[in-house]
């Protein structure tokens, strides 16, 4: 499953992606959970799009950081993704929720998912590892 790493051990491109996600986290709207998450997605063309979680009082309307980043990228015309980083202030690196795993699996099943906390702990897994049997109508 996910392999553990430290931020300092990562390639510069992945460190940069984590830094972008950490900055996006600062804009999160999380008045209910107080759990701010930032995400940054790297497209196949090399562009990076960010997102943060945006909570809502009717919890089902809450937008996770990963899906916010995906929506920003898709809105910019991107459809192919290489990696996504997510960052939270947590004891362990955060992992995507089931809905986010499904969204990533449909758009880019082999995406590299880089999960980090503010202490520099990192987990890395592929989308296929995080959701080995996704629901799909397209494949």
Per residue in 67-111, pLDDT tens?
A: 999 999 999 999 999 999 999 999 999 999 999 999 999 999 999
Q: Find the domain containing 108 and state its range.
A: 3-121
Residue 81 lies in a domain: yes
Q: Among candidates 97, 102, 138, which has minimal Cα distance to 115?
A: 97
Residue 105 lies in a domain: yes
> Band of the pLDDT at 5, cuts 50, 70, 90?
low
Q: Which pLDDT score, from 0 to 100, does residue 3 have?
A: 72
Cβ of 76: how many Cβ atoms within 10 Å?
A: 11
Predicted TM-score (pTM) of the model is 0.93
The answer to whether 66 is a known catalytic residue is yes
Residue 50 lies in a domain: yes
Residue 132 lies in a domain: no
Residue 37 lies in a domain: yes
Number of domains in the chain: 1
Q: Which of 66, 80, 91, 106 is catalytic?
A: 66
Residues 65 and 15: their CA atoms lie apart, in Å, by: 18
Residue 129 lies in a domain: no
Q: Which pLDDT score, from 0 to 100, does residue 138 have?
A: 60
Helix residue ranges per DSSP H, 1-139: 12-25, 65-75, 98-107, 127-130
3-state SS assignment for residue 74 = helix
Residue 64 lies in a domain: yes
State phi, psi for 11 to the nearest 5 degrees: -65, 150
- pLDDT at 24 > cutoff 60: yes
CATH number, residue 81: 3.40.140.10
Output the six-digit token pair for 10. 């990562």
């Amino acid at each position: 499953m996910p392999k553990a790493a430290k931020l300092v051990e990562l390639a510069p491109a992945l460190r940069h992606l984590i830094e972008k996600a950490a900055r996006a986290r600062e804009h999160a709207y999380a008045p209910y959970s107080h759990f701010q998450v930032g995400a940054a997605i790297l497209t196949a063309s090399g562009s990076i799009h960010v997102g943060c979680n945006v909570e809502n009082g009717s919890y089902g309307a809450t937008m996770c950081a990963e899906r916010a980043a995906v929506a920003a990228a898709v809105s910019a015309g991107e459809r192919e993704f290489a990696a996504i980083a997510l960052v939270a202030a947590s004891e362990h690196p955060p992992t995507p929720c089931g809905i986010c795993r499904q969204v990533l699996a449909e758009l880019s099943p082999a995406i590299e998912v880089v999960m980090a906390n503010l202490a520099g702990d990192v987990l890395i897994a592929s989308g296929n590892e995080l959701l080995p049997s996704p629901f799909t109508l397209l494949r």
